[in-house]
Amino acid sequence: MSEAFLKNPLGLFDIKGKTAIITGASGAFGALSAKVLAGAGANVVLAGSKVDELKKVAAECEALGAKSEIVALRPSSEENCDKIVKAAVAKFGKLDILVVASGLNKVAKIVDQKPEDFLDVMDANVTQSWLMARAAGRQMLAQGHGGKVILTSSARGLLGHPAGYSAYCASKSAVDGITKALGCEWGETGITVNALGPTVFRSPLTAWMYEDTERAQTVRKGFLARVPKGRLGEPEDLAGPLLFLASKASDFYTGHILYADGGYTAG
């Protein structure tokens, strides 16, 4: 066994010159993922439907020294996924990292939820993850030097929720299943497949939970009673796990869900 890495352990996390696709790059986690990978030296391909938001994220990535490409497509079909991958290869010559950060939640009690809304959540979170992993995997297999596939799970893939999350919980459990199955299927190819499972972290959608209003304080108190770290998540809490999963440091780590949750799922 070579111990050359001991001379530079930080080199295990080096992704300079790698090419990463991030779907849902205009959303909170997608934009964060793009900027973390860009700041670490990767070329980033930003996919999503909100072009103006993608341009903003691209400018932020380029300010960090990265090269970027925008693809105004969601991974909502086989054709779109193939186009996203082809755009990355056309621009940067290869694909090394995939982060599927696109997704959807429609909150409703099961007796009130329309079947089409349930199917929309399953399509956005499950089918589109599968399609994007499939398209990226084909390219990585053809290249023959492995790759990193990172899906987005949630603490809700492991635990239930009383507030109308039957569609979301089911979808994230399915993402976990895809992660484990592909971790096995691609085990000897050099492609690792893992999922990052956050709980609440600061974003435009959750900003109200961080406020000092009576409602926020009540909700926060109940939630934090189950979080050993005793606080809500911040964007930087996801950066380290993401970089680990995107780099050589995780080469022997596949088929897993890495919970960035302050210990929430441990209780």
Of the candidates 219, 221, 225, 217, the one whose C-alpha atom is nearest the C-alpha of residue 263 is 225
Q: Are 153 and 176 in contact (CB under 8 A)?
A: yes
- What is the C-alpha to C-alpha distance for residues 135 and 127, in angstroms, rounded to an integer? 12
Residues in the chain, how many?
A: 267
- What is the C-alpha to C-alpha distance for residues 204 and 13, in angstroms, rounded to an integer? 29
- What is the C-alpha to C-alpha distance for residues 90 and 99, in angstroms, rounded to an integer? 19
- What is the C-alpha to C-alpha distance for residues 43 and 41, in angstroms, rounded to an integer? 7
The type of residue at 234 is E
Q: Which residues are catalytic?
A: 168
